[in-house]
Amino acid sequence: MTRHSTGELTGAMNDGEADEDTRRARATLGWIAEPGDERMGRAVDDLGPVDVLSLLRRDELPDRYRPRPSYRHRLAAVDLARIQRDLERTESNELRFVCPGDSEWPTQLDALGPKRPLALWLRGTSDLRLACLRSVAIVGSRAATDYGTYIAGDLGFGLGERGWTVVSGAAYGIDAATQRGVLAAGGSTVAVLACGVDVSYPRGHEALLARIADEGAIVSELPPGAAPTRQRFLERNRVIAALTRGAVVIEAAVRSGALSTAGWARDLDRIVMGVPGPVTSTMSAGVHHLLQQEHARLVCSAADVVELVGQLGRDLAPQPRGPERVRDTLDRATLAVLEAVPGRTGGDVSVVAAAAGVDVDEALSRLGSLLLLGLVERIEGRWRLSRRTTRASPPEQTRAEQLAM
Amino acid sequence: MTRHSTGELTGAMNDGEADEDTRRARATLGWIAEPGDERMGRAVDDLGPVDVLSLLRRDELPDRYRPRPSYRHRLAAVDLARIQRDLERTESNELRFVCPGDSEWPTQLDALGPKRPLALWLRGTSDLRLACLRSVAIVGSRAATDYGTYIAGDLGFGLGERGWTVVSGAAYGIDAATQRGVLAAGGSTVAVLACGVDVSYPRGHEALLARIADEGAIVSELPPGAAPTRQRFLERNRVIAALTRGAVVIEAAVRSGALSTAGWARDLDRIVMGVPGPVTSTMSAGVHHLLQQEHARLVCSAADVVELVGQLGRDLAPQPRGPERVRDTLDRATLAVLEAVPGRTGGDVSVVAAAAGVDVDEALSRLGSLLLLGLVERIEGRWRLSRRTTRASPPEQTRAEQLAM
């Protein structure tokens, strides 16, 4: 994993790239504070994680941060050797540990302010920041109906096919049906857990989680091995909402956890969407209630979702990244492949590979990155520049001018 | 039928009460112009129906009204004796013929401007203006699914029970299911036809139309005996929308006639509502499309509909009538019954009758009128002042002060 600390890639809070002390301090604080702990978040933002940890050790964290009694108890019990071992697991890439300031840190999370995660543990192949640049949360009831799971699979498939990353919670019901749909389309999906990324929860989803890790990423702010709790599920929802440009709710009873994700999405100025169902179904009642609120939008299909969230750079609080910036991050080989993609008509991978002067495997891998970035689309087996990319430019502009933007 | 011409009850266009010549002229022009003919509407508004008719007879209608060639042909063919006979049928109350300026004229129709009907033919027992003061249109597909007809019946029943008049088209599918639901609740319903009010269309709904006439009203701007045409169906939709405070669409395919009623409702600043369904159902696709537009509101139940349209006097363009005005129209006996209705707790009809000093039949009949006007509610067999009536007044006000408003 390469890291760089150019101003462009740092978060709103101007975190520098995390050094080893900082990383160890953030990992340790992750054992001490619960997810979403605003007091801890404020102290770390003001003083830095290393100083907060040493102040805690000396029992000198200023009163204005109202240190919880639990901090002291947990600090006494913390297993430093275990934390060291977990961090060592990142060297083999079995796990990753991503801190604010790292190139993989999704800066959208900075919108959470003091409730921003201290750091994220990851398992999987996707680069989390890139994957979440164009991402949508899909959430819903665990006790879903056949209608709900059908819609979830269909929406997941459609978004995967369109190169959108789907973020969800890998729970039973809507979450799993959605993420299976994405995987079936060969798309990218991210599971945010309320337990350690190496914990299979729910137990019945061990195989699903393994596939998500293979094709996407599993994310948690909790340390490896941590068990889920009710409070951790609720705080997990804020991460799902913050990572994405919008949240879709498919089936939710009136007081459902899925609606808490929608509430976070609204509070974070993400687009809140819902899929309606029969008004006779209690499983759709929460969604209909949501859709009766001014800010929520009704969606029937993946195309509807993309229509709403698809404006590049929009709603990516706090730091919108326009298409130019995304292009700036491309290496020379990926840029060559992008330039080789036929504009409106599209072409298959062999056409692109030949034009770019690379082999088909290389072209496919580069196209995969470009798909995640939303610069190209794959429609019926053909690759082409994404419509949004072409549409965003004035019609008189040439391809070369577009690419030089 | 009593008529009066106080300024308060006349429409926006300041029509006086129609005299016999005017009525005969309007009836005749109804044979000459098609529904929604703006040219004719403008001429009648500017010159009055009697002068328009005599100018047409002399072939001297000014060119600025661009008289259609069809006017001359139809005038030559018009059967004056038949019109006379139709007007005579109103004397026995078999039919009614209501003109702008009449006390039964629903002034909401004035919002249609030059597309306002020249007059309305009626069959039935309800006073159209009073019935439509608190009314909602419910429309939808003829080829409705079981889901759609179930919802239509449920919504019709719920609105009927709450004292709201339901306006629809008596067509197969959603219309009929809705109006049957209203009738089952003992509620008030109005059918607006695209043919004469004495024509049973569709033929299979002869019995339904007879029941609607018994319990409510059948309305048409077309003369008795007129046959429906495609264009007449479309123009009929504007009358359905204009009569009501809002239109609910239950099941509509993407290019459905029900959506034209919703379009009229939007253009007339009525509230546009839709009942969602499974996104997998083509019969709900038009409704979902409607609900994706900013102005349309999602409703799941009669309670949702009443919540949206229930503010007395609101959205009754062009001449809102507040609750005070409605009270002003009450006769002494009805006002006595209103004053006898217990406020929040409610009471059964015998309690009301005793307090008002009338017999139970008399009390029931007066309560029926008050229900239509939205001043009282019937909940689980008990009568009480409608919540909106009580809620609308400041809490420190006494009952006596409220009634003196």
Identify the band that residue B327 occupies on the pLDDT scale cut at 50, 70 and 90.
Answer: low
Q: Which of A199, A201, A211, A206 is nearest to A125 (CA)?
A: A211
Q: Which helix (H) or strand (E) holds A192?
A: strand A189-192
d(C-alpha B89, C-alpha B84), whole Å:
9
Q: Say whether B278 and A279 touch across the interface (CB within 8 A).
A: no
* Chain B residues with beta carbon closer than 8 angstroms to that of A150: 280
CA distance linking residue A38 with residue A139, whole number of Å: 25
Structure tokens at B42: 């403008």
- The better pLDDT of the pair B131, B343 is held by B131
pLDDT of residue B329: 65
E-state strands within B59-188: 96-98, 120-124, 135-140, 165-168
**B292: distance to nearest CA of chain A, Å?**
6
What tens digit of pLDDT does each residue of B186-211 get? Answer: 999 999 999 999 999 999 999 999 99
Contact residues on chain B for A299, CB-CB shorter than 8 A: 292
Distances in Å between the Cα of A397 and the Cα atoms of A284, A385, B118 are 46, 15, 57
| A202 contact partners, CB below 8 Å, separation of at least 6 | A170, A171, A172
Contact B288 A278 (CB under 8 A): no
The reported pLDDT for the residue numbered A400 is 38
Beta-carbon contacts of residue A140 (< 8 Å; ≥ 6 apart): A148, A152, A173, A174, A175, A178, A249, A250, A251, A252, A256, A258
**The residue count for chain B:** 405
The nearest CA of chain A is from the CA of B272 a distance in Å of: 13
Chain A neighbors of B298, CB-CB under 8 A: 276, 288, 291-292, 298
Please tell me the least confidently modeled range out of A167-181, B115-129, B319-333.
Answer: B319-333
pLDDT at B34: 97
Q: How distant, in Å, are the alpha carbons of A161, A174, A240 from that of A181? A: 10, 10, 18
Please enumerate in sequence order all residues whose Cβ is within 8 A of that of A370, keeping only pairs 6 or more positions apart, or say none: A334, A337, A338, A341, A376
Closest-approach residue (CA) in chain B for A285 = B300
- Å between B156 CA and nearest CA of chain A: 15
CA distance B26 to B17: 13
Closest CA to B356 of B333, B379, B383, B331: B333
Q: For the beta carbon of residue A3, count every other beta carbon within 10 angstroms.
A: 14
Note whether A298 contacts B297, CB cutoff 8 Å: no
Task: Please report the sign of the dihedral spanned by the C-alpha atoms of residue A118, residue A72, residue A237, residue A156.
Answer: positive
Distance from CA of A47 to the nearest CA of B (A): 46
* Residue A155 · residue A246 · CB < 8 Å: no
> Highest-confidence range of A306-320, B140-154, B345-359, by mean pLDDT?
B140-154
Q: How many helices (H) and strands (E) does chain B have?
A: 19, 11
Contact call for residues B173 and B143 (beta carbons, < 8 A):
yes
pLDDT, block means (10 residues), chain A with 405 residues: 35 69 97 96 96 96 93 94 95 93 94 97 94 96 96 97 96 97 96 96 94 96 96 96 97 90 96 97 96 94 94 41 55 81 80 82 80 77 68 36 36
A360-372 and A349-356 are packed helices; what angle lies between their axes, rounded to 10 degrees?
100
Q: Contact at 8 Å (CB) between A310 and A388?
A: yes
pTM, 2 dp: 0.75
Nearest CA in chain B to A299: B292
Best probe of the A interface among B298, B304, B308, by most A CBs < 10 A, is B298
Residue B298 has its nearest CB partner, among A278, A288, A300, at: A288
pLDDT > 80? residue B386: no
Considering just the CA atoms, what is the radius of gyration of chain A in Å? 21
Structure tokens of A50? Answer: 């290393």
Residues of A whose CB is below 8 A from B150: 280
pLDDT at residue number A386: 76
Give dist(CA B249, CA B182) in Å, integer.
16
Q: Which residues contact B364 (CB under 8 A, 6 or more apart)?
A: B349
In this prediction, residue B210 carries a pLDDT of 96
CB contact under 8 A, B151 and A280: yes
The verdict on a CB contact (< 8 Å) between A280 and B304 is no
pLDDT at residue B360, as a whole number: 79
pLDDT tens figures, B160-181: 999 999 999 999 999 999 999 9
**Which of A38, A95, A29, A15 has its CA nearest to residue A57?**
A29
Q: How many helices (H) and strands (E) does chain A have?
A: 19, 11
Please tell me which of the candidates A279, A297, A304 has its beta carbon nearest to residue B276.
Answer: A279
CB contact under 8 A, A276 and B280: no
Looking at residue A236, what is its pLDDT? Answer: 97
| Residue closest to A28 by CA, chosen among A68, A74, A59 | A74
pLDDT for B320 equals 30
Q: How many residues does chain A have?
A: 405
The CB density around residue B361, as the number of other CB atoms within 10 Å, is 10
